[in-house]
Structure 1
Amino acid sequence: MYRFLLRPRWLAFHLLVLVLIPSFVLLGRWQFGRYEERSASSSLATGNLAAAPVALTSLDTPGGTVPASVRFRGVTASGHFDPAHELLVRRRVQNGQPGFFVLTPLVTADGTAVVVNRGWVPMGPTAETPPEVPPAPLGEVTVTGRLRQSETEDSTGINDRPGLPPRQVLLIDTPGIGKGMPYELFGGYVELTAQRPASATAPEPVPEPDVGGGGGLNLAYGVQWWLFIGIAIGGWIMLIRREARDLQTERESTTASGAVPAPGH
């Protein structure tokens, strides 16, 4: 009865199922790997956000690189702001509005500086109109904020380009920004959350970053791919049984009528 399984179209169907099953296994394993990776990253970021602030110099150095393991960690630094070298970061959206981040170097006692993202300001009435930026406070200040890694095109998806208006940038690229500064910059930058003494007016604070849900979608997709394995096998068995049943019905009908069954049946 099951000789039909050796027909060319059935052999092709068997081959398709044999290809799909390991493919679904690999896709499921890949999604589970992404789930574990994102869960670990989310847990690390959540822990860093909740940790007590430490001195900036304990996690970052001038000309250094901020490792991913300490991103979003709270840090403190003291010095005076240098408004003469303040920069605006274009194309930053907050509260559903386009605007700018305000980057002001904080010069420390040893003459090095850290870029501080003081917050967000909305764009002007036109693209050519400079935004209104609250001035940085004068004198000695102590800032507290989230330590962030220098931005790149790959990490942000933003394509950097030349020809921008003076003192405007597209990326918070501290090595690139440092080339135009009269002092050495720390490798990362600080996203301001508090300042002593506080300013009477200031840019709008940048909200706490969304660290994600730990890869829940990847877990769901992994389960989905593995469910497809059962569907593929179940469908394969169902089609075989239906074909065998149809052939059996046809054979019984042919026998009852006295006709000779067709070859291969």
Structure 2
Amino acid sequence: MHRYRFLLTRQWVVLTLVAIALIPAMIKLGFWQEHRYQERSARNQLVSDALNADPVPVERLTSPGHTVTSGERYHTVTAKGRFDTGHEVVVRRRTNSDDAIGYHVLTPFVLTDGKVLLVNRGWIPANGTSQSAFPEIPAPPRGELTVTGRLMPDETTAASGIKDLKGLPDRQIMLISSAQEARRLDAQVLGGYIAQTAPEPKGDTPEPIGPPGKEDAPLNYAYMIQWWLFAAGVPVGWWVLVRRELRDRIEAARRPSEDPEPAAV
């Protein structure tokens, strides 16, 4: 075993310690990616189940002051009533499918029992460069009708990353909050809001908000396998380096000395 004494040198001790530290770190990263994979797969299944569920009346899932849960999110709901365009607001800094910046149109929908449902009717472009003027908004259908949409929770800065700025122009907001709208309207507002899917707008405006996309869970699975392969490869790579170092040392010992010949007198 004296041939492996070089492993006690400073260089090889440091290299071995680094390799030993990398193995559990990579295994831990693999388990973290596995957790992310399971989490995203469960979330995708939850979204799929909600989108494929049969429509239900909105008041079966939410009520004034209710917090929409992850299990209720994206469920298709229906509501009967009329739009109140006089209290309509726009939600700033929203993008469409082409990443163009504009507004979401949030219109109160007064139910037959007097409660109010917030309806996000879709996206409209900003009018010119001014952000203070209220944009022109296509009118919704008049009179009593039935709307259908995907139930969504109230927006928060923590979930969206959007700051709830104050001092905005009249009838403009940053985040959709049923509690804030209840105070503004002085009415009983159902918790959350809906992203309208029917009836479809005339002239394709406001532009309807598309369904949520699936999170890339398979990518986390690939990362999980990758980290565990790295962990398995560390000792293999360490041993390859050891064998290479040993071979180089043996070959160096076998080479004849190359002492210079004495000079002729």
TM-score normalised by structure 2 residue count: 0.90
- State how 1:159-238 maps to structure 2 within 5 Å: 159-195=163-199, 200=202, 203-213=206-216, 215-238=217-240
Same amino acid, percent of matched pairs: 43
* Range with bigger deviation, 47-56 or 175-184: 175-184
| One-letter identity of the residue aligned with 2:173 | V
Structure 1 equivalent of residue 57 of structure 2: 55
Question: Which of 96, 101, 106 is the matching residue for 2:104?
Answer: 101
Change (3 A) 1:258 1:135: closer
CA distance in 1 between partners of 2:258 and 2:174 (Å): 85
* SS of alignment partner, residue 119 of structure 2: strand
Structure 1 equivalent of residue 39 of structure 2: 37
CA distance in 2 between partners of 1:49 and 1:200 (Å): 24
* SS of alignment partner, residue 13 of structure 1: helix
CA distance in 2 between partners of 1:210 and 1:163 (Å): 34
Runs of 4+ in 1 over 3 A off after TM superposition: 198-202, 256-259
Runs of 5+ consecutive residues of structure 2 not aligned to the other structure: 260-265
Structure 2 equivalent of residue 127 of structure 1: 130
Structure 1 equivalent of residue 83 of structure 2: 81
* Backbone CA RMSD of aligned residues: 1.9
* SS of alignment partner, residue 45 of structure 2: helix
Structure 1 equivalent of residue 73 of structure 2: 71
| One-letter identity of the residue aligned with 2:105 | V
CA distance in 2 between partners of 1:88 and 1:109 (Å): 24
| One-letter identity of the residue aligned with 2:179 | P
1:118-150 residue CA offsets vs partner (Å, 9 max, x unmatched)? 111111022244322012333212111000111
Change (3 A) 1:199 1:229: closer
Structure 1 equivalent of residue 7 of structure 2: 5
CA distance in 2 between partners of 1:233 and 1:150 (Å): 51
Number of residue pairs matched?
A: 254
Question: Which of 16, 19, 36 is the matching residue for 1:17?
Answer: 19
* SS of alignment partner, residue 185 of structure 1: coil
| One-letter identity of the residue aligned with 2:184 | G
- The answer to whether the Cα contact below 8 Å between 1:123 and 1:130 also exists between their aligned partners in 2 is no
TM-score normalised by structure 1 residue count: 0.90
| One-letter identity of the residue aligned with 2:168 | L
- State how 1:107-118 maps to structure 2 within 5 Å: 107-118=110-121
